A and B are shown apart, each in its own frame.
Chain A
Amino acid sequence: MTDATSAPGAASIPGDVSAAEPRARSRRRFRPNGSVIVMALYLLFLMLPIYWLLNMSLKTNAEILSGFSMWPRNLTLANYEKILTDPSWYMGYVNSIIYVTMNTAISIAVALPAAYAFSRYSFMGDKHLFFWLLTNRMAPPAVFALPFFQLYSSVGLFDTHIAVALAHTLFNVPLAVWILEGFMRGVPREIDETAYIDGYSFPKFFVKIFMPLIASGIGVAAFFCFMFSWVELLLSRTLTSVDAKPIAATMTRTVSASGLDWGVLAAAGVLTILPGALVIWFVRNYIAKGFALGRV
């Protein structure tokens, strides 16, 4: 209303509007309004199931089955202790971490030069190739489960970490290429050209100058490779039996067995959330970008 009345003096409008702005913002911060309530409800909805898992992981199995309580009456770490001392449990984590790390290293290593090529040069079939990579990111793991099983069995890699690591490159390499390309296109080409004029060779330029420039992009790509390999179950379960069995498979096999130990299962679940939860603060501004393949 005030804006409209002061409209004739065009120059005064921006001043008016921006003066109204901080007032609106401080009200949003200090008085509970609609937005705060909506966000509180939504976050409550997100956190409740996770809280419940944490709650159960801190109870003994007897307490879980004997009665219902919102928080653990006899706080116990016995479930975590069991996981961290029993090899059949903790080896699941070790196996997962081994193949996930291998996969991340392989994916980033091959994706870096490819992403550079896509972001800087046009060459025969580049668009088709880029699209083909995307289709592999989108490929349903269920389609590949059986052929992977046969492929890796026939070359004698079944139940090894490298088999799972290679299988996961199916979707992680395309993911890394797309994310890195998204970051690289933000780096001006003049930098490349200046470096070449200064007499840098391509490998030297790439490692010494270019990689530090897109360090955050590499971090984000690595994080997403890690994450997608960490959360995947179908392929890692199909390709392993004993020696490389991932934690996810250990958990599902416990579920199917009789005599469930809910407390231990919940504790195992909490431990699988940890890696994501630990780094989440550092990647918070890149989550959307990573999921959208570097395109936001």
Chain B
Amino acid sequence: MNKTVNQKAWFLVLPVLILVGFSAVIPLMTVVNYSVQDTFGNNVFFWAGLDWFRDMLESERMWNALGRQLVFSGIILAIEVPLGIFVALNMPKKGFWASFCLVLMSLPLLIPWNVVGTIWQIFGRVDIGLLGYTLAKLGVNYNYTQNVIDAWATVIVMDVWHWTSLVALLAYAGLQSIPDAYYQAAKIDQASRWKVFRFIELPKMAGVLMIAILLRFMDSFMIYTEPFVVTGGGPGNATTFLSIDLVKMALGQFDLGPAAAFSLMYFLVILLISWVFYTVMTNLDKRDGV
């Protein structure tokens, strides 16, 4: 769409600018301020330069948290994206059952994140939870509060449970946009199921799928509430992801300097991914020619 140039449009954007400026820029400046200063208490601060950044870059704690975070995000993407596509391909195309599936699949997406944690905390308990009880009956020594592997498995299954539907719904929306003529043409060519998927469905889904992957990466990269409720970051530090570690540092130990430096680096990563996301979105808009 060729838009008209109109500088007065700024006035329409102004309220948003002020509001988001207030709730984003001011806090971010506070963070920047803390990241370059040190204190001996009593609100006396002095200039520390880039020391905190250097400290954080050398800190094993941050690298470990980052490592765990990347492993976590990698695993859930590797599970959720193929599973989501698979589910989308099997969804009914129209009619009552399509709506029925849509509604049930959307349900986990709309549950408050701490309740998601609570649900799995209960579900996985060996004494009162269906999952934990069944596993114990089957003779599996399962305990997500003690065993690192079990804790990871629980957190990952929880995330798959929570968010696979999002990937599926987006992929489904992509599939819905394919005209019947494409499938008819494939039928005439006697294309196999795999070829239909590879050369018709996958290219048509590519755009929305990219959105889904970026959204999932981004949201899993900032995950806090669900693992916090289920495992509290434990056992030990086994499920302490970036956000959990950051909150521990900033609000728990009140290490303002390191936490602020940590925050800024965290934010830069997010900024980078946002840029990729934005580029994908605008390219998608252009391709659709809207």
Chain A interface residues (CB < 8 Å from chain B): 3-4, 7, 13-14, 17-18, 20-21, 25, 28-29, 34-35, 38-39, 42-43, 45-50, 52-53, 56, 64-65, 68, 70, 106, 109-111, 113-114, 116-118, 120-124, 126, 129-131, 133-136, 138-151, 166-167, 169-170, 173-174, 177, 185-186, 189, 227, 230-234, 238, 248, 251-252, 255, 262, 265-266, 269, 272-273, 276-277, 280-281, 283-285, 287-289, 291-293, 295-296
Give me the 7 closest cross-chain CB pairs, A-B, nearest first: A276-B110, A147-B27, A140-B222, A142-B243, A117-B12, A121-B9, A117-B9
Q: Which of B1-48 contact A (CB under 8 A)?
A: 1, 3-10, 12-13, 15-17, 19-20, 22-24, 26-28, 30-31
* Minimum distance in angstroms from B220 CB to a CB of chain A: 11
Minimum CB distance partner of B127 in chain A = A65
Choose the segment among B52-60, B70-78, B268-276 that binds chain A (4+ C-beta atoms closer than 8 Å). Answer: B268-276
- Looking at chain A's contact residues, the main secondary structure is helix
**Complex CA distance for A277 and B109, rounded to whole angstroms:** 10
Give the chain A neighbours of B169 by CB distance below 8 A. 287-288, 291
Whether B118 and A265, one on each chain, are in contact in the complex, defined by CB atoms closer than 8 angstroms, is: yes
Question: Given A4-B190, A38-B90, A117-B13, does the pair A151, B27 have CB atoms closer than 8 Å?
Answer: yes
A53-B119, A138-B270, A234-B225 are known; give 14 further A-B pairs, CB within 8 A.
A29-B97, A64-B128, A114-B12, A121-B9, A123-B8, A130-B278, A131-B274, A138-B274, A140-B242, A142-B250, A234-B247, A288-B166, A288-B170, A292-B212
Q: Which of B76-114 contact A (CB under 8 A)?
A: 86-87, 90-93, 95, 97, 99, 101-114
* Minimum distance in angstroms from A114 CB to a CB of chain B: 4
Give the chain B neighbours of A64 by CB distance below 8 A. 128
Chain B interface residues (CB < 8 Å from chain A): 1, 3-10, 12-13, 15-17, 19-20, 22-24, 26-28, 30-31, 86-87, 90-93, 95, 97, 99, 101-115, 118-123, 127-131, 133, 161, 165-166, 169-170, 172-174, 180, 184, 187-188, 190, 208, 211-212, 215, 218, 221-222, 224-225, 229, 242-244, 246-247, 250-251, 256, 259, 263, 266-267, 270-271, 273-275, 277-278, 281, 284-285, 290
Whether A233 and B104, one on each chain, are in contact in the complex, defined by CB atoms closer than 8 angstroms, is: no
Give the chain B neighbours of A234 by CB distance below 8 A. 224-225, 243, 247
Cβ-defined partner of B23 (8 Å) among A117, A120, A170, A251? A170
Give the chain A neighbours of B3 by CB distance below 8 A. 120-122
Cβ-defined partner of A46 (8 Å) among B86, B95, B128, B165? B165
* Minimum distance in angstroms from B90 CB to a CB of chain A: 4
**Complex CA distance for A289 and B180, rounded to whole angstroms:** 22
* Minimum distance in angstroms from A71 CB to a CB of chain B: 11
Give the chain A neighbours of B22 by CB distance below 8 A. 166
Minimum CB distance partner of A3 in chain B = B188
Cβ-defined partner of B106 (8 Å) among A121, A126, A280, A292? A280
